[in-house]
């Protein structure tokens, strides 16, 4: 697509989201395309690209809105990939957290733990931390002081420091 679209529905081809900015109060909001089309139609507006901005209200509902629309190509795809990343990290951490809880009494070097460590490898970026967890998970004989709690804390802390979305139950 070269230049602005003719209609809001043209943005479906590039899986776009739309950034709505009020130039009066500087409020910014990102809309899903279907929700924006519904909003424009509910406000009695036309879905033509140049006239749709007059039917969109300011995100803060200011008195004199001057709204601009900016398409974000493949925005829906980015949102999906971020949600997938969030799910991958937290499911892997959940598996490691549960394994760390059992690690004081039994060997937890299972295929699930190995897969969770493999999934976290691109996000942790320090193979030493993952190797420490695996070593603690597979050490024989088991002792109460030889658990995976400390390696788990290091992995979770590294993810938090790198800005990964770690859910509260998976925090160290």
- Number of H helices and number of E strands within the chain? 6, 3
Domain boundaries, the chain: 8-73, 78-170
Cα 142 to Cα 121: distance, rounded to the nearest angstrom? 26
What pLDDT shows up at residue 135? 93
* Contact between residue 43 and residue 103 where contact means Cβ atoms under 8 Å apart: no
Summarize pLDDT for 58-91 with one digit per residue, the tens.
Answer: 888 888 788 888 888 887 677 777 888 899 999 9
pLDDT at 1 over 70: no
Cβ partners under 8 Å of residue 83, min gap 6: none
What pLDDT shows up at residue 34? 87
Q: Where are the alpha helices (DSSP H) in the chain?
A: 33-42, 49-52, 75-102, 111-124, 127-138, 149-161
pLDDT at 161 over 70: yes
Summarize pLDDT for 91-150 with one digit per residue, the tens.
Answer: 999 999 999 999 888 889 899 999 999 999 999 988 999 999 999 999 887 777 778 999
What pLDDT shows up at residue 80? 73
What DSSP state is assigned to residue 56? S
Q: Beta strand pairing status for 17-22 and 28-32?
A: antiparallel
C-alpha 33: how far from chain center: 19
Summarize pLDDT for 5-22 with one digit per residue, the tens.
Answer: 888 888 888 888 889 999
Q: Is the peptide bond before 141 cis (omega within 30 degrees of 0)?
A: yes
């Amino acid at each position: 697509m070269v230049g602005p679209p003719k209609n809001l529905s043209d943005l479906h081809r590039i899986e776009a989201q739309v950034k709505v900015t009020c130039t009066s109060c500087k409020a910014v909001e990102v809309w899903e395309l279907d929700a924006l089309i519904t909003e424009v139609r509910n406000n009695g507006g036309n879905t033509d690209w140049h006239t749709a901005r007059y039917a969109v209200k300011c995100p803060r509902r200011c008195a004199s809105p001057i709204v601009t629309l900016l398409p974000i190509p493949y925005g829906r795809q980015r949102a999906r990939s971020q949600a997938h990343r969030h799910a991958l990290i937290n499911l892997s951490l959940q598996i490691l957290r549960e394994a760390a809880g059992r690690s004081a009494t039994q060997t937890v070097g299972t295929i699930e733990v190995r897969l969770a460590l493999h999934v976290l490898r691109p996000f942790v970026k320090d193979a030493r931390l993952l190797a420490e967890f695996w070593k603690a998970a597979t050490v024989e004989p088991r002792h109460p002081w030889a658990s995976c709690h400390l390696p788990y804390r290091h992995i979770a802390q590294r993810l938090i420091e790198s800005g990964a979305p770690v859910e509260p139950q998976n925090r160290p």
